[in-house]
Amino acid sequence: MKGIWKNSGIKWRMIRLLVFGWIVPLAAATVLVTVVMSVRLSKQMRETVTNSLSKVASLIQAGFDECNKASRDATYLGVVQEAYNEYLNTYDEQKLYNDITVFLTGQYRYNKRSDCVMLIFTERPDLFYSAYDSSASYKNVMSFRQNGLNNVLALSESLDTGICLYTDDTGMYLARNLVTSSYKPYAMIVMKLNPDEMFGSLKSVWGYSDAAVYVDGTLVYGDELGFAESAKQNYDIAFFHDSKNQPYAHYTSEIDRSVVTLKVLLDKAAITSEKKIGIYIVIILLVSLIPLFFIVLRFFDRMVKSPVDELVTAAEEISRENYGYEIEKEANSKEFNYVNGAFNDMSRKLKQQFEQIYLEELAVRDANIKALQSQINPHFINNTLEIINWEARLNGIYKVSGMIEALSTMLNATLNRSNIQRIRLSEEMKYVDAYLYIISERMGKRLTIKKDIDESLLNETVPRLIAQPIVENAIEHGISDSGTGSVSIRIYAENEYMYMEVRNTGHMTEQDREKIRAILSGETEGMDQRSVSIGISNVNKRLKLMYGDSCGLSITDDEEGTVSLLTFLREGGETYGER
């Protein structure tokens, strides 16, 4: 036999080597691995279901904790107690309704985990307030008020400072007492929880087919699955089969004094097919790919994956604006070392260029703003001096003092010795008042001034000398031509924007409208560059430079007159020129 093998060709030598050196040992190993893998796959599937259900249970617990914290804020923020104390002093139910409704809406209306939130004063259940975001949620509020309110109020006496879950035919509610500083309950806050938001993560359990959730034995999510009889004292995850050999898992836990049971029905076909697929994959890998796999994997990991991961990490740092980030680890190949070096050079140059561009943008913006401010109408001072001189000649010295003070205010605003670009709205209105005082002295009863200013906005910051050119324009074109008229100034806010509306009783002609459009769009070449035109153009440009294109100046007219509207971005908004 030895001679036969010795004299055989290379082909048979290779066959012998493969059969006895690889195929036979690999076949035996495959049988053994298949048996072991079948057992382990069954165990692993159970562990996978258990682990995924455990993670989902943690998410659900986190959802209850979030709702718990949201309900606790009603006490800690103190808004409700302050409003109620004020009500006890004034018995103004409308004021109480406004304060509580605003608080509930701002604090809870957009909480996805709750459909609606209700607040009831325990000593006055008729003082019932709610916040909701849909008609369906409103129906939930009315249903609770009719059917569940008395039951929840009955829980208040034993609830102390904790919370509880209350369930009925209308859904699941989280209730909490609101207490005074001496821990005396005076109100209850009740949140109707959204089952889909609270328990929707059950669909991510591995092998999920269906699910149900019970709170103290009451079904609150999903459909009755026929095995709600699980032991409520088991506060751990378990994996079972029912009478039909249908696999399912459950998890029971105590949440906020209530027993919550999660039931997940598993897809038997998916689990079985997963088990078979796993075995098939193991057999194929053992037969043909295991040796080659590890060799290629190690080579790929060392030579390609590791260097690429370094490049990806570096690219992510660049995308987060961490310009100048460099790859320090040396690669295992000459090619990747070259790429890493080129990347580092690019990163350093990119950092230098961005820093240079940013500094140039700041310089250009500041230069533009200063240039625009320097164009504020200088001839107004001459006009004012003429008026003061005229008053001094005709009326003596009594009115001159006031006009000089107003002029001083205007001069200080124009000179801006401290080089401050933005000032508080209250200070800006002082400049406007000074200008209006001077104009009122000149025009007398022919000019009527009206103001409607939201005093809560007086601390907002605005560009210096942004309002006076618009008021001057309103008087110049709305009053001077007709001889008499009125100017109204209204300042108000909506969302993140603040608006200053200057209205006069004059009307624009079609020629005026075309001129205004050209001035505001910057198409002023060949036009008569009067100071008023320059002023409103500067105002529009300054607002857009400081706040972006969403802000600026618009001038329109209607039946009552001409309206100039200045739009500002309020403090806290992201401005166009700032980083």
Spatial contact of 159 and 120, defined as CB atoms under 8 Å apart = no
- pLDDT the model gives residue 388: 65
Is this model's pTM higher than 0.75 or not? no
Torsion, CA 352, CA 358, CA 364, CA 369, rounded to 10: -160
Determine the residue type at 265: L
Calpha distance 186→121 (Å, rounded): 6
134-143, 147-156, 299-308: range with lowest mean pLDDT: 299-308
**DSSP type of residue 286:** I
User: Per-residue pLDDT tens for 538-554?
Assistant: 888 888 888 888 899 99
Nearest CA to 414 among 400, 388, 435?
435
Strand 447-453 versus strand 485-494 pairing type: parallel
Calpha distance 305→480 (Å, rounded): 78
Calpha distance 189→201 (Å, rounded): 26
Calpha distance 337→327 (Å, rounded): 10
More confident residue, 24 or 328: 328
Query: Looking at the predicted structure, is the pLDDT value of residue 501 above 90?
Result: yes
More confident residue, 390 or 113: 113
- Strands of 114-121's sheet in order across: 124-132, 114-121, 185-193, 171-179, 163-168
Q: What is the CA radius of gyration of the chain?
A: 39
Angle between helices 468-478 and 531-547 (to 10 degrees): 140
User: Per-residue pLDDT tens for 335-364?
Assistant: 777 777 787 788 788 777 777 666 556 545
- Strands of 485-494's sheet in order across: 447-453, 485-494, 497-504, 562-569, 552-557
Query: Looking at the predicted structure, is the pLDDT value of residue 94 above 80?
Result: yes
Mean of the pLDDT values across residues 202-214? 85
Torsion, CA 393, CA 396, CA 402, CA 403, rounded to 10: 0
| 3-state secondary structure (DSSP) of residue 467 | coil
Strand 258-266 versus strand 208-215 pairing type: antiparallel
Spatial contact of 121 and 187, defined as CB atoms under 8 Å apart = yes
Which residues neighbour 26 within 8 Å (Cβ) at sequence distance 6 or greater? 286, 287
Calpha distance 534→543 (Å, rounded): 14
Calpha distance 261→256 (Å, rounded): 13
Q: Encoding tokens for residue 282?
A: 């193991």
Calpha distance 437→21 (Å, rounded): 108
State the residue for tokens 């079948």. Answer: 38
25-39, 240-254, 336-350: range with lowest mean pLDDT: 25-39
State the burial class of residue 166 (Cβ atoms within 10 Å of its Cβ: 0-12, 13-18, 19+). Answer: buried
More confident residue, 407 or 178: 178
Spatial contact of 502 and 563, defined as CB atoms under 8 Å apart = yes
What is the per-residue DSSP string for 18-50?
A: HIIIIIHHHHHHHHHHHHHHHHHHHHHHHHHHH
What is the per-residue DSSP string for 411-465?
A: HHHHH-TT--SEEEHHHHHHHHHHHHHHHHHHHGGGEEEEEEE-GGGTTSEEETT
Q: Is the dihedral of CA 95, 96, 97, 99 positive or negative?
A: positive
Q: How confident is the model at residue 404 (pLDDT cuts 50, 70, 90)?
A: low
Query: Looking at the predicted structure, is the pLDDT value of residue 422 above 80?
Result: yes
**DSSP type of residue 100:** H
In order of start, what are the domains of the chain with their CATH numbers? 27-266 (no CATH), 374-569 (3.30.565.10)
Which residues neighbour 129 within 8 Å (Cβ) at sequence distance 6 or greater? 97, 100, 101, 104, 118, 119, 120
Calpha distance 477→461 (Å, rounded): 28
- pLDDT the model gives residue 232: 43
Residue 527's beta-bridge partner residues?
A: none
State the residue for tokens 């994959």. Answer: 281
Query: Looking at the predicted structure, is the pLDDT value of residue 369 above 50?
Result: yes
Q: Encoding tokens for residue 441?
A: 């002295």
Which residues neighbour 47 within 8 Å (Cβ) at sequence distance 6 or greater? none
Average model confidence (pLDDT) across the chain: 76
- CA 334 vs CA 298, 309, 338, 341, 472: distances in Å: 18, 17, 6, 11, 72
User: Per-residue pLDDT tens for 502-542?
Assistant: 998 888 888 888 888 888 887 766 555 555 566 788 888 88
Query: Looking at the predicted structure, is the pLDDT value of residue 243 above 60?
Result: no
